[in-house]
Amino acid sequence: DSGVTQTPKHLITATGQRVTLRCSPRSGDLSVYWYQQSLDQGLQFLIQYYNGEERAKGNILERFSAQQFPDLHSELNLSSLELGDSALYFCASSPTTGTGETQYFGPGTRLLVL
């Protein structure tokens, strides 16, 4: 158990809908990262927040957005969903930021768009 929690575990929705994925980092960790894992694209870094501020941006679509709240939990919002958004979404956290920081991954949210 990494100490990172993600809810929900599974989500089934329809095209065009909007969903929110939630992540609680390990106690004391200030950085939160979001990743998308799919069969065709592999593991893609989406976005990182550090202490409430956006820190780094990867391959995140404009239909997706994220935020980190004062209590350090984070939410990833996915809107106008398409079939291709079906994937496993991981959240990870680390104590601070920096190239050598170890990230601790949550168990993931599996999203299925029908």
Partner 1 sequence: GNSVTQMEGPVTLSEEAFLTINCTYTATGYPSLFWYVQYPGEGLQLLLKATKADDKGSNKGFEATYRKETTSFHLEKGSVQVSDSAVYFCALKRRDDKIIFGKGTRLHILP
- Chain residues binding partner 1 by CB under 8 A are 2, 4, 33, 42-45, 48, 55-58, 90, 92, 97-108
CB of 59 to partner 1, least distance (A): 10
Output the smallest distance, CB 101 to partner 1, in A: 8
Residue 21 vs residues 32, 39, 49, 114: alpha-carbon distances, Å: 13, 20, 15, 17
30 or 79: CB nearest partner 1: 30
- Provide the β-strand partners of residue 91: 34
Cα distance between residue 111 and residue 12, in whole Å: 6
Distance, CA of 79 to CA of 29 (rounded, Å): 28
Output 25 or 106, the one with its CB closest to partner 1: 106
- Provide, rounded to whole angstroms, the least separation between the CB of residue 43 and partner 1: 4
CB closer to partner 1, 26 vs 79: 26
Residues 6+ apart with CB under 8 A from 28: 95
